[in-house]
Copies of this chain bind each other. A is one copy, B any other.
Amino acid sequence: MKIAIVSGKDEGPTKLNAFDNALTDAGIGDVNLIKVSSMLAKNTEITELPKLKAGAMVNCVLSEITSDNPGDEITAVIAVAIGEELGCVVETTGINENPEDLTNEARKMVEYMMEKRGVKTKELIIEKSTATVEEIASVVASVVYLNDEIIEG
């Protein structure tokens, strides 16, 4: 299994458009995202996000939050734990919550998931996107599951 870990943020004229712009900023704006729950196969490899085919069906874990309340600090976090037998992903978001606290919560939750399964964490990656809303803004962080079918060229 190969995954890419990405994040993005942007403003937009509507909540939907801000969200769409944030996805584009993360490099996943031109595909169809199918949300899945949050497990990784054994020997999962993390790579750079390749160019995806427009309109491809792409499985992902998505952390996203959008706000139209100027001044809000919005944060999307993904925590990824990689182990030999399997891996786990946690996503969490917050409005006007300390990004550091959110990150710690996500780390704790994913560590607990690994411990509960008796799997040793070989690598733990946190991806985070934070923004202060000007008019309407969205932040996203995502684990994107890759396969040959969805990669361009």
Q: Which residues of A contact B (CB under 8 A)?
A: 1, 12-14, 16-17, 20-21, 23-24, 29-42, 44, 53-57, 59, 85-87, 90, 92, 105, 109, 112-113, 116-117, 145
Central interface residue in A30, A35, A37, A86, by most chain B CB within 10 Å: A37
B117 touches A17 (CB 8 A): no
Task: Specify how many copies of this chain sit in the oligomer.
Answer: 3
Query: Are A36 and B39 in contact (CB-based, < 8 A)?
Result: no
Q: Are B32 and A37 in contact (CB under 8 A)?
A: yes
Closest residue on chain B to residue A41 by CB atoms:
B55
Q: How far is the CA of A109 from the CA of B13 in the complex (A)?
A: 9
Residues of chain B with a CB closer than 8 A to A31's CB: 37, 39
Instruction: Determine whether the beta carbon of A39 is less than 8 Å from that of B34.
Output: no
A13 to chain B, nearest CB (A): 6
Q: Is the CB of B41 within 8 A of A37?
A: no
